[in-house]
Amino acid sequence: MRVIRFLVAIVCLAFGAVLGALNRQAVSIDVGFGHVASNLGIVMLACLLVGVIVGGLAISASVVWPLRRRLANAQRQHASLPTVAKEVP
């Protein structure tokens, strides 16, 4: 499993390097309260990173946190059940 993660990380780094190298045009982005001047490749990678982070937070908020809450409730209910002692012959 570690080898697969390592290979995926290398592929992503290579993709980012190629994307940054092929898109060297200067761009200026106005964000309302200021502007950012950089090259296109870095801006594209930053937007991709922000999208991944926002998507991960959305998945966590809509799936993971409710499931954790349900699990905690189920564990609390299981702990409150009376235990039945079994007699061993």
Answer yes or no: is 82 within a domain. Answer: no
Over residues 3-17, the mean pLDDT reads 92
Is residue 46 one of the residues assigned to a domain? yes
Given a cut of 90, is residue 69 above it in pLDDT? yes
44: in domain? yes
CB 39 within 8 Å of CB 24: yes
Indicate whether 78 belongs to any domain: no
Asked if the structure places residue 13 within a domain, the reply is yes
Rounded to a whole number, what is the distance in angstroms from the first to the last CA of the chain? 46
Confidence of residue 58 (pLDDT cuts 50, 70, 90): very high
With H, G, I as helix, E, B as strand and everything else as coil, classify residue 24.
Answer: coil
Average pLDDT, the chain: 89
Residue 12 lies in a domain: yes
pTM recorded for the entire structure: 0.70
Query: What does each C-alpha distance from 87 to 80, 81, 84 come to in angstroms?
Result: 22, 19, 10
What pLDDT score was predicted for residue 87?
Answer: 67
State the total domains in the chain: 1
Residue 79 counted as domain residue: no
Confirm whether 86 is domain-assigned: no
Q: Domain range holding 11?
A: 2-73
